[in-house]
Amino acid sequence: MYSNALRFHINKNYGTSYWTPYFRKSNIVEKFSSDIELKEKARNLYTDVKTNEEKIEKLVGDLERMGFVELENELDGTYKVTAAFHYIEELIDCLTIIETEES
């Protein structure tokens, strides 16, 4: 649950007032140090890893394996968010969760 929220938070809000499909790991690490909400979410992400840099490595690796991001520029480490991410994001936005009580 926390990792999904963190993934969406990073990809939409990691430091710009507008949404951009490009990011660098270093930008996310910088945001971790200044955003208290993001730092709190990161605490529960990959609990086996201690540093934020290692967490970002694992997160971006996972997103890359799932096809949500791809390395755009090896020289400066720029990644691009793919259409697959936007598709799943729209799908999630369409979901309506109804809570039911179990007897």
Q: Which two tokens stand for residue 89?
A: 């994001």
The pLDDT assigned to 86 comes to 63
Separation CA 71–CA 38 (nearest Å): 23
The pLDDT assigned to 18 comes to 45
Separation CA 38–CA 60 (nearest Å): 16
CATH classification number, 2-94, choose in 3.40.50.300, 3.40.1710.10, 1.20.120.10, 1.10.10.10: 1.10.10.10
Please give the chain's pLDDT, 103 residues, in tens: 444 545 555 555 544 444 568 889 888 888 888 888 888 888 888 889 888 889 889 989 988 888 888 999 999 999 988 876 666 667 677 776 667 777 5
Helix (H) or strand (E) holding 72: strand 69-73
The pLDDT assigned to 1 comes to 40
Find out whether 68 and 81 touch, Cβ atoms under 8 Å.
yes
The pLDDT assigned to 61 comes to 92
